[in-house]
Amino acid sequence: MNELNLNSRAAQYIQTSLNGGVLTIMMHHPKKLNGWTDAMIDAFKEAFINSHSRLMTSFRDNLINKINIM
């Protein structure tokens, strides 16, 4: 589950989904018992950055659709 198109390094530590404007990030590094590492922190940063641009695009598209309906 890598809906945010994270790089392969980030994707090995977390799983992401974005549904209805809600971002879910799950730790996914069972070999380290999901330990909080520098690599995990970097993966979360990338997820937040990618989700922001994706949410802004979705918000813009929804706003344009609502304006066109009026």
* Tens-place pLDDT, residues 13-37: 999 887 777 888 899 888 888 888 8
Quick one: pLDDT at residue 17? 85
Please report, as a single letter, which amino acid is at residue 27.
Answer: M
Does residue 68 register a pLDDT over 90?
Answer: no
Please name the amino acid found at residue 66: K
Contact 44, 38 (CB under 8 A): no
Confidence at residue 45, expressed as pLDDT on a 0 to 100 scale: 92
Flag whether pLDDT at 55 surpasses 70. Answer: yes
Give the pLDDT score at 70: 67
